[in-house]
């Protein structure tokens, strides 16, 4: 057989053909070690964006990305392992209360997390708002935390699916982020490599989501569930609505405070609802006979949270950063809030400094948006609807502009939409 060359790989996919297993493994290995140049990899990613991948191609592509690094062994932690991954949204702080809750139910939760980009926040950015908390842990610390208290939120090591690290950065600058095969392989290569036995996916749709259309989100969920199942990971997904932002806050320290409220037995009803829905599914896949609602009410999840934070240098009792500049947006008329657009709220938080446009940019711990009402809530003229929190007051006018058209007041409440639209399991067809 002739040796594989990059031009053969590019021509095959450009012309709509299927890449062979040999071509895929060759490309991933040679791109990871720098033999294949970024411009050549960019051309292949664009070809995949337009031509797609067969099921066999995607399975091999994901396998090759896993094989580019190490596959962790969590068999010695003494608990069933189960992780959760969200495709991201506005106000999506669910990992913060969820991880300690599921650990308090008896599982080990290896939450290898990332940073935010654009209008969606990143779990590490939120956690770094806690004074002293550090995202890096050693391999020994990681395994020890999974054994007791049973959960860890941290940055992934550089030897976990390194092919994805390079490819993700390239997708971000080549307009190929939205490809379902590339999204699925990116997420699942890391999650499979981390060694978890079970995985729950929170795949979002709506204006504030990565994929706006529900059917596209369903396609992604189905693809990822199939990849996990094929690789021996018990996998299921929930399709959840991100047309309206989650909770009452978008911003790093603001979302930490809201998460702690949930762990203390309060918090916004939608955040509690989704936290419990995901916790129940995670416990089911992990084979645990636990009642997450009862565990949450009992306070043990808060104990796990405090231990988790302290173990990574954070002070769970320290005051969270507060923005020095807070301005408000008020309702112009009496009525009912009929619209609260997630993407617009996320854009406002980003403009205030809570997010970044490039991965290397810093974020503000204290910046963000607080909303006082959700669709269906009554409002009165002059009543505060939004708080805009910023370190730099010159950012506030742009945030106000982002909120124009983000909300509406009418006479009738909109019909309620379910937060969880569907569940997708490994044996669904």
Beta strands in 261-367 (DSSP E): 325-330, 335-340
Question: Under a CB-based contact definition with an 8 Å cutoff, are residues 84 and 235 in contact?
Answer: no
Classify each residue of 85-113 as buried b or exposed e, where b means 16 or more C-beta atoms within 10 Å of its C-beta.
bbbbbbbbbbbbbbbbbbbbbbbbbbbbb
Taking alpha carbons only, the member of 15, 16, 11 closest to residue 27 is 11
Q: How far apart are CA 105 and CA 294, in angstroms?
A: 10
Phi, psi of 101 (to 5 degrees): -65, -45
Tokens matching residue 146: 């999974």
What is the residue-wise DSSP string for 106-144? T-BEEEEE---BTTB--HHHHHTTSTT--S---HHHHHH
Angle, alpha carbons 205-207-212 (nearest 5°): 45
Smallest CA-to-CA distance from 267 within 243, 290, 244, 296 is with: 296
Pick the catalytic residue from 13, 79, 84, 85: 85
Question: Is there a catalytic annotation at residue 119?
Answer: no
Catalytic residue among 93, 115, 119, 171: 171
> What's the CA gap between 405 and 289, in Å, rounded?
46
Q: Which of 79, 119, 126, 190 is catalytic?
A: 190
- Which one of 92, 125, 164, 270 is the catalytic residue? 164
Tokens of 233: 């990971």
Active-site hit among 186, 198, 259, 366: 186
Using alpha carbons, list the distances in angstroms from residue 230 to 219, 272, 426: 16, 32, 9
Q: Quick check: is 20 catalytic? A: no
Active site residue 189: no
Is 171 a known active-site residue? yes
Q: What angle do CA 336, 338, 339 make, to 5 degrees?
A: 140
Whether 85 sits among the annotated catalytic residues: the reply is yes
Tokens coding 325: 């500049």
DSSP H stretches of helix in 68-199: 95-104, 123-127, 139-147, 162-172, 180-193
Active-site residues, by number, are 85, 164, 171, 186, 190
């Amino acid at each position: 057989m002739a040796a594989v060359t990059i031009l053969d790989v590019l021509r095959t996919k450009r012309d709509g053909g299927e890449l062979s297993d040999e071509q895929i493994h060759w490309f991933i290995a040679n791109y990871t070690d720098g033999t294949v140049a970024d411009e050549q990899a960019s051309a292949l990613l664009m070809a995949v964006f337009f031509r797609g991948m067969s099921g066999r191609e995607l399975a091999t592509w994901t396998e090759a990305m896993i094989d580019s690094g190490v596959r962790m062994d969590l068999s010695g932690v003494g608990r069933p392992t189960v992780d959760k991954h969200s495709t991201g949204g506005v106000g999506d702080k669910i990992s913060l209360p969820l991880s300690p809750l599921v650990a308090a139910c008896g599982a080990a939760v290896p939450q290898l997390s990332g940073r935010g980009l654009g209008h969606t926040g990143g779990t590490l950015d939120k956690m770094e708002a806690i004074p002293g908390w550090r995202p890096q842990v050693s391999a020994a610390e990681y395994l020890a935390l999974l054994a007791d208290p049973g959960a860890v939120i941290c940055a992934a090591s550089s030897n976990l699916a390194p092919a994805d690290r390079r490819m993700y950065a390239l997708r971000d600058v080549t307009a190929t982020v939205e490809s379902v095969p590339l999204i699925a392989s990116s997420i699942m290569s890391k999650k499979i490599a981390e060694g978890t036995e079970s995985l729950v996916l929170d795949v979002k749709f709506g204006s504030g989501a990565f994929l706006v259309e529900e059917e596209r989100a369903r396609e992604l969920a189905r693809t990822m569930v199939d990849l996990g199942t094929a690789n021996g990971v018990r996998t299921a997904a929930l399709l959840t609505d991100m047309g309206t932002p989650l909770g009452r806050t978008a911003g790093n320290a603001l979302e930490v405070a809201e998460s702690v409220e949930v762990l203390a037995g309060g918090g916004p009803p939608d955040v509690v609802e989704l936290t419990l829905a995901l916790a129940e599914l995670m416990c089911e896949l992990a084979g645990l006979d636990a009642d997450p609602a009862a565990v949450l009410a009992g306070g043990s999840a808060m104990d796990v949270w405090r231990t988790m934070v302290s173990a990574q240098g954070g002070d769970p009792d320290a005051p969270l950063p507060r923005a020095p500049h807070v301005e408000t947006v008020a309702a112009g008329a009496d009525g009912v809030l009929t619209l609260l657009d997630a993407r617009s709220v996320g854009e406002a938080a980003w403009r205030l400094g809570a997010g970044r446009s490039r991965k290397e940019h810093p974020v503000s711990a204290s910046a963000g948006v607080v909303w006082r009402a959700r669709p269906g809530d009554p409002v009165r003229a002059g009543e505060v609807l939004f708080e805009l929190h910023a370190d730099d007051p010159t950012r506030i006018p742009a945030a106000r502009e982002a909120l124009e058209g983000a909300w509406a007041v009418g006479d009738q409440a909109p019909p309620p939409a379910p937060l969880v639209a569907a569940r997708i399991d490994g044996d669904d067809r």
